Structure 1
């Protein structure tokens, strides 16, 4: 999943996520629902074909609903999350599922008192790198940080870290663009 595609969580995704969050709280199944939502998000993150099918107008709502129902069954998702996916597909919002996943996870992190950091790198970060980054962010911010990592090969190297409205961009692409702009001005 690239940052350019999903940098901003859509309003529809937020609304659906809020409804799921409230239902999960009511059912006292917030942790299990978050686990299922994370699993669903990973499936979308790992499959460009799944993202394409969910968002493509070439596939009808019924086809999307069947495909997502099969995916939910294969992933072993709870009935609550299966119904959530089915409702989004039936309402023509299958393409908003990745946004809903991000919004739900952000709500769950806030509920735990943690901040979510979006980290984009050119290559997939190792578990050790993620742990080191999480520790550095916790030290800098003074509270727990949950890192959500994405890969965007267009960065060439370095990282882009976004926490709330703050962003730190140490990507090689940004540095090259800065040099290019400086050379134009000279």
Structure 2
């Protein structure tokens, strides 16, 4: 059900409610940071995702683990929101809710999400340069970069912002040359 239209339809009202609370208490960035942390944890730990989604595990156990996972410094409003998700049996949508919240936050702050794929990891200077270029191309005030490594690119990068793709990879250049010469890539 991950990423399905049904899960997004369920997650969206929760994300909007979370944004409403964040706006009321001027916590939009703090919630965004914590949502990114939760998403990173869920991405790195399929076991945690299974634990949260399991209908066999008691809600009290889920709450205990989530409290420990979020830590002492977790915002009380966000922690209560997560506990409410457990109570309402909507905790399985935590990942989608966090993604939808971040989408709302990017819209609010005029920030674009750029998926950058490179042959090897970018250093800070390269990441900053890419972010600046994306900002110029899109006119956005901020750029959030999500990076992936793909050794098949050989060199260079591809950048996806929304539905636009900028291919500055060596593989892409070779494909274009091949097509211009009448070959099939």
In structure 1, stretches of 5+ residues that fail to align are none
* 1:119–1:147 Cα contact (<8 Å) kept: no
> What is the match of residue 110 of structure 1?
107
Q: TM-score, normalised by structure 1?
A: 0.70
Mapped to 1, the partners of 2:169 and 2:11 lie a distance apart of: 28
Q: Does 1:90 align with 2:87?
A: yes
Q: 1:103 to 1:130 in 2, by over 3 A?
A: farther
Q: TM-score, normalised by structure 2?
A: 0.70
* 2:109–2:142 Cα contact (<8 Å) kept: no
Deviates more, 1:65-74 or 1:160-169: 160-169
Per-residue deviation at 1:82?
0.5
Q: Does 1:60 align with 2:57?
A: yes
Q: 1:30 is matched with which residue: 28, 31, 51?
A: 28
State the Cα RMSD in Å.
Answer: 3.7
Paired residues for 1:23-172 under 5 Å: 23-55=21-53, 57=54, 59-60=56-57, 62=59, 63-73=61-71, 76-120=73-117, 125-151=122-148, 156-157=152-153, 161-168=159-166
Q: Which has the higher contact order (CA 8 A, sep 6+)?
A: 1
In structure 2, stretches of 5+ residues that fail to align are 179-183
Q: Which of the two has higher C-alpha Rg?
A: 2
SS in 2 for 1:149: strand
What's the CA shift string for 1:144-178, capped at 9, x where partnerless?
3422415476x744755332333446789999xxx
The size of the alignment, in residue pairs, is 175
Mapped to 2, the partners of 1:31 and 1:162 lie a distance apart of: 24
